[in-house]
Structure 1
Amino acid sequence: MSTPRNVSFIGLGVMGGPLARHLGAAGHRLTVFNRSPARRDAWLAANPGLAVRVATSPADAADGADVILTCVGNDDDLSDVVLGPNGVFTTLRRGGLFIDHTTASARIARQIAVEARDKEILCVDAPMTGSQIGAEKGTLTLMCGGRPEAIAAAQPIFAAYTQRVVHIGKSGYGQLAKMVNQICIAGIVSGLSEAMRFAQASRLDTDKVYEAISGGAAQSWQMDNRWKTMAADEFDFGFAVDWMRKDLGLAMDEGRALGVSLPITALVNQFYAEVQALGGGREDTSALVRRLPLPGRKR
């Protein structure tokens, strides 16, 4: 690895927790902060071998850091931990590096970039794809927005948990690329859900169907990683429906601003609202199939 740095990570959730672990395991001097003490304590208990400092606030996490990373819930959360009165930009040194892995709006990414420029902080918006599995294995793909010098400075940090880093363009472009990603996923999971129910209603062996079609034009990451669990009605893992609805809302808001029609995305977003109404808000996005009951089977 590169020279160890003073690295602080804010947000120890499903995606952020594994990333923080990879950074500590890579030899960086790690500080963590999470607004929920219970989640922080659970992460500490799950990683007893890591030498880690626990910060008392975002500002405390950034104090003395070379690099600070965030992976929080939404625009409001991000604004609070970065730009708030006790946020990281109150203490992060000039010349420091700020990396955001939250899936958020392009607007907040651009706002943070402007504040960072005024404080002479290098800034990267770097939303992720690759799922919880990729976070655990350290094989994520990042789509990044920011100045070239900021991307270059971030590369040694990214090396701890990624297999691909793509510099999309200026600040906010990483978030726009993530919206493209989520639009694609929404359509794929919707089609996969209908295909699953069709196969089951036809009394086909779903394992054999997967064997037959997964090597051809129908193949996708979603099929490879979710077909079997959908067939088994297993959804207690992965990327939550609640978060997908948040992401699709961001994409549709941006689409309206651009004058781009996203009718399929809007339709699938409403399908996900049905899954939420069924109590599946915290289930994996593949729970979309739940809204399509088989004949004779309740949802």
Structure 2
Amino acid sequence: TFEKMLPVLTMMGRRILHTGDLGSASVLKVMTNYLATVNLISVCEALVTSKAAGMDLNTTFEAIKISSGNSFVHETESQVILNGSRDISFTMDLVLKDIGLFQEIAETHGVPLEISPLINKIFADGIERFGSRELSPNIIKRLEEATGLDITAPGFPTEMEDDEPEEPGYEIVPQGRA
């Protein structure tokens, strides 16, 4: 049972959430990957629009980081986008697989999505232009090409850095169940 596995799981991961029946974790993983992808596209659009409006990208990064627009994707992927390496060790074909699975789940359950089909179309176009094994943050190249802008800035790392302190893992209990 989950309770018996919890001590082992907390040694392997930082936050442990019992998601329910077999397969429920897979659905949630697809959903969270979809959200990260939507956020990546919105971050790309924000960075390109800021540059087009004449904003300094270092200042833009910090403004987003301290605002309501901040996110894990911004704090990590924006840095490697601005560095120019765009290296998160995740490729466009993997993104398209995940967001396609999200779309399938929604369709299976009769959910009429509007953003998901557009995100799927954007990444399909990215793969057609740049190849399936292109790093996923390079989806920004679609906007760089359309605008002629270079979305890089000095002082950002070449790889995503995990600065979360090491600590023993612990169980997350959903709100309303504590």
* TM-score normalised by structure 2 residue count: 0.74
Distance 1:235 1:217, change over 3 A: same
Q: How does 1:6-85 map to 2 (within 5 A)?
A: none
Question: Does the 8 Å CA contact 1:182/1:248 hold for their aligned counterparts?
Answer: yes
When Rg is computed on C-alpha atoms for both structures, the one with the higher figure is 1
Question: Does the 8 Å CA contact 1:245/1:269 hold for their aligned counterparts?
Answer: yes
Corresponding residue to 2:133 among 275, 279, 282: 282
Question: Does the 8 Å CA contact 1:236/1:283 hold for their aligned counterparts?
Answer: no
The alpha-carbon deviation at position 163 of structure 1 amounts to 0.5
Tell me how large the CA RMSD over aligned residues is: 2.0
Corresponding residue to 2:109 among 237, 251, 258: 258
Match of 2:14 in 1: 163
The alpha-carbon deviation at position 265 of structure 1 amounts to 1.2
The alpha-carbon deviation at position 213 of structure 1 amounts to 2.3
Match of 1:183 in 2: 34
Corresponding residue to 2:58 among 182, 185, 207: 207
Distance 1:155 1:282, change over 3 A: farther
Distance 1:291 1:253 in 2: 26
Match of 2:69 in 1: 218
| Aligned residue pair count | 149
Give % identity: 23
Question: Does the 8 Å CA contact 1:226/1:286 hold for their aligned counterparts?
Answer: yes
Deviations 1:108-146 (A, max 9, x none): xxxxxxxxxxxxxxxxxxxxxxxxxxxxxxxxxxxxxxx
Question: Does the 8 Å CA contact 2:47/2:60 hold for their aligned counterparts?
Answer: no
The alpha-carbon deviation at position 240 of structure 1 amounts to 1.8
Deviations 1:213-239 (A, max 9, x none): 211200000110011221233223332
Q: Which has the higher contact order (CA 8 A, sep 6+)?
A: 2
Q: How does 1:68-147 map to 2 (within 5 A)?
A: none
Question: Does the 8 Å CA contact 1:235/1:283 hold for their aligned counterparts?
Answer: no
Q: Which runs of 5+ in 2 are unaligned?
A: 151-178
Distance 2:28 2:133 in 1: 24
Q: Letter of the 1:249 partner, please give it.
A: G
More strand by share: 1
For the residue of structure 2 that corresponds to 1:259, the secondary structure is coil
Q: Letter of the 1:228 partner, please give it.
A: Q
The alpha-carbon deviation at position 290 of structure 1 amounts to 1.4
Match of 1:196 in 2: 47
Distance 1:230 1:258 in 2: 35
The alpha-carbon deviation at position 297 of structure 1 amounts to 5.2
Distance 2:59 2:132 in 1: 30
Distance 2:73 2:140 in 1: 13
Match of 1:230 in 2: 81
* TM-score normalised by structure 1 residue count: 0.46
For the residue of structure 1 that corresponds to 2:19, the secondary structure is strand
Match of 2:148 in 1: 296
More helix by share: 2
